[in-house]
Structure 1
Amino acid sequence: MIMTNSSQVSYFTLAAYSDIGLFKYFIFMIVMLLYILIVCANLLLIVIICMNRSLHEPMYIFLCSLFVNELYGSTGLFPMLLVQILSDIHIISAPFCYVQIFCLYTYVNVQFYSLAVMSYDRYLAICYPLQYNTRMTSNKVAVLIALSWFFPLLAIVVMISLNTSLQLCGHIINRLYCDNYSIVKLACYDNTVNNVYGLIYTFTVLFGLTVLILYTYIRILRVCFSGSKQTRQKAVSTCTPHLASLLNFSCGCFLEIVQSRLNMSNAPVILRIFLSLYFLICQPLYNPLLYGLNLTKIHIICKNILFGEM
């Protein structure tokens, strides 16, 4: 029910589903298959890293945290998405909408923090190989992982708190799922505080983490060009998957910004669905395949488990 004084909205309508029509069963099967693949692939690598002592190294522990985050983000999206695809009434309660925003935005932020931490780890391993074990201790690994989860959770809690205090003059969201920008656009009055907070957080965090990532890879490239062939091979084998993951994630975030900021009502339905789901599907599916195929230790263990090779 929507209050007549527009002070409170108890549900939202996800209008993007209205154009799906007979495509819904096909889309449901595709999304269900992708969700199963994401869960199986990430869960497999989490179990492999946890159960094999040879993988209890900082790089693989950071990867494990990354895979846990991808399971978390996928679970925040797919179950409700599958229900909405088959449903004839595409509404979502306000509390559940805010929970979904919390899950998806923390997933995105933890992902970026984790990629920044992983770039710092590769920087120490390649630029300071003799001091790596003393610089990247188990305590430091635990602190970095804790911070990469704590700061995004705290930031998104503040963002959700600001959103729930807004007076909304509508309930229609032209997306497949709830997102922060769509809620803010429904505000009845000036939402400057929300916009300023979003801009400050985005600039400080994204700019700071981007500078850290660029700095680490500039230093890594300098070592590669001036180092031995063995050093270059080590850098390529360990940094290529991380760079590919970072580029894929950045591309997905860019497509998400395009989708949320521009009027896509005249675009084909399939294109809008692709833009909405790219970074929420491709990153959790791409990373396990990327690291599973490119990192030798994980690749060998996966082959042994899946094909029984010794």
Structure 2
Amino acid sequence: MDNVSAVRIFTLSGINETVNYRIAIFSLTLLYYGVILFVNIALIAIIAFNENLHEPMYILLASFCINGLYGSTGFYPKFLLDLLSSSQEISYEACLLQAYVMYSFACCDLSILSVMAYDRYLAICRPLHYHSFMTKRRLSLLVCFSWLMPFSVFSVSILLTSTKKLCGSNIQKLYCVNWLIVKLVCPDNDTLSNSVVSYTTICLYVLHGFFIMWTYMHLIKTCARSKEDRLKFMQTCVPHLISLLMFMFVMLFDLMYMRFGSSTLPLSLQNFMAIIFVLIPPVMNPLIYGFKLTKIRHRILGLIYKKIFAHC
């Protein structure tokens, strides 16, 4: 038990300096969180209650939106409470839980994007074998894989962190991150196991990225052959590609800033950079797919027209 941390409370940094704008920031954040909940729940409901959308691509999209809700809920409620509090503190257990949620949310996104890429590869490059490959059973296994693997990997990472003794309690971020907690570990504690798990996780998700690149090389090669395939690529693959590029930009930006960012930047800019990956994807992904995928767009427009005529 000597290795168990005596630190029970962490202090988060970055909110006290915005004391003059807290009410405005709270109002805008609450509104934004409401938008995230609305667009993701609306898209999930449209897919769930429309039998025509019970296809692999749309089921994976619903999983994507559920992950957006999961990650957003890991950040926004605590951030809103902090804006109303005089001190930004979080318990040791809650900090580990938040770090787990934020990391697993990000990696679930990449896992789901990988499964989506595989689905599009089968649909466009192997259309005659699509239904024999993408059965309900295989789809269920792929969805479980996209969720369980990040959860399992980061369970190990967080469990390892929880065994370390900490010599500090100040986290230089608006929310808890495992890497920043590990930086607080006392010098006499060995963090080699944490490093091994971290680098293994990085390699694992780099392989996800290479797999997606491989599928898109085949997709582009196949779609260049005919106008029909090019149209299918534009309708179903472009939203996925936009989500992928947005994810890569946001995550690389956040990781590079967390490790190499300058502390001389204005605090408001530092805070924005700290939360960019829970600002953009949870809203943009459902909007991109909602307006780009024809069946969903028609369903949304149909519901709007029905509401308009119901009031006329």
Report the TM range for the smaller structure's normalisation: over 0.9
2:217 is aligned to: 218
SS in 2 for 1:9: coil
**Does the 8 Å contact 2:100/2:154 carry over to 1?**
yes
- CA deviations on 1:284-310 (whole Å, 9 max, x unpaired) are 100111001100100011112234279
Identify if the C-alpha distance between structure 1 residues 122 and 7 changes in structure 2 by more than 3 Å, giving closer, same or farther: closer
The within-5 A match list for 1:200-239 is 200-203=200-203, 205-225=204-224, 227-239=225-237
TM-score (ref. length: structure 1): 0.95
1:297 is aligned to: 295
Supply the distance in 2 between the matched residues of 1:12 and 1:72 (Cα, whole angstroms). 23
Shift of 1:7: 4.2
Of all paired residues, the percent bearing the same amino acid is: 38
Supply the distance in 2 between the matched residues of 1:263 and 1:277 (Cα, whole angstroms). 14
- Out of 145, 150, 153, the position equivalent to 1:152 is 150
Q: Which amino acid in structure 2 is aligned with residue 123 of structure 1?
A: Y
The within-5 A match list for 1:114-263 is 114-189=112-187, 190-203=190-203, 205-225=204-224, 227-263=225-261
- CA deviations on 1:137-168 (whole Å, 9 max, x unpaired) are 11111000001111111111101101101111
Shift of 1:34: 1.0
**Displacement over 3 Å in runs of 4+:** none
Most deviating of 275-284 and 112-121: 275-284
Supply the distance in 2 between the matched residues of 1:236 and 1:14 (Cα, whole angstroms). 44
- The total of aligned residue pairs comes to 304
Most deviating of 270-279 and 42-51: 270-279
Supply the distance in 2 between the matched residues of 1:196 and 1:128 (Cα, whole angstroms). 38
Most deviating of 190-199 and 70-79: 190-199
Supply the distance in 1 between the matched residues of 2:64 and 2:232 (Cα, whole angstroms). 22
SS in 2 for 1:20: helix
SS in 1 for 2:90: strand
Most deviating of 106-115 and 258-267: 258-267
- CA deviations on 1:109-163 (whole Å, 9 max, x unpaired) are 1111000000010000000112111111111110000011111111111011011
Q: Which amino acid in structure 1 is aligned with residue 211 of structure 2?
A: L
C-alpha RMSD of the superposition: 1.5
**Does the 8 Å contact 2:60/2:112 carry over to 1?**
yes
Q: Which amino acid in structure 2 is aligned with residue 19 of structure 1?
A: E
Supply the distance in 2 between the matched residues of 1:102 and 1:44 (Cα, whole angstroms). 26
TM-score (ref. length: structure 2): 0.94
- Out of 70, 76, 79, the position equivalent to 1:78 is 76
SS in 2 for 1:92: strand
Most deviating of 299-308 and 108-117: 299-308
**Does the 8 Å contact 1:167/1:188 carry over to 2?**
yes
- Out of 6, 10, 28, the position equivalent to 1:8 is 6
**Does the 8 Å contact 2:125/2:218 carry over to 1?**
yes
- CA deviations on 1:146-203 (whole Å, 9 max, x unpaired) are 0111111111110110110111110000100000111011011241221121011211
Supply the distance in 2 between the matched residues of 1:259 and 1:8 (Cα, whole angstroms). 29
Shift of 1:236: 1.5
**Does the 8 Å contact 1:6/1:169 carry over to 2?**
no
SS in 2 for 1:260: helix
Q: Which amino acid in structure 1 is aligned with residue 20 of structure 2?
A: L
Shift of 1:258: 2.4
Supply the distance in 1 between the matched residues of 2:217 and 2:78 (Cα, whole angstroms). 42
**Does the 8 Å contact 2:12/2:88 carry over to 1?**
yes
Identify if the C-alpha distance between structure 1 residues 91 and 33 changes in structure 2 by more than 3 Å, giving closer, same or farther: same
- CA deviations on 1:13-56 (whole Å, 9 max, x unpaired) are 00222322212222111211110000000000000000000000
**Does the 8 Å contact 2:4/2:164 carry over to 1?**
no
Ranges in structure 1 where 5+ consecutive residues have no aligned partner? none
SS in 1 for 2:208: helix
Q: Which amino acid in structure 2 is aligned with residue 39 of structure 1?
A: L
Supply the distance in 2 between the matched residues of 1:89 and 1:12 (Cα, whole angstroms). 11
Supply the distance in 2 between the matched residues of 1:129 and 1:216 (Cα, whole angstroms). 14
Shift of 1:105: 1.1
Supply the distance in 1 between the matched residues of 2:179 and 2:68 (Cα, whole angstroms). 22
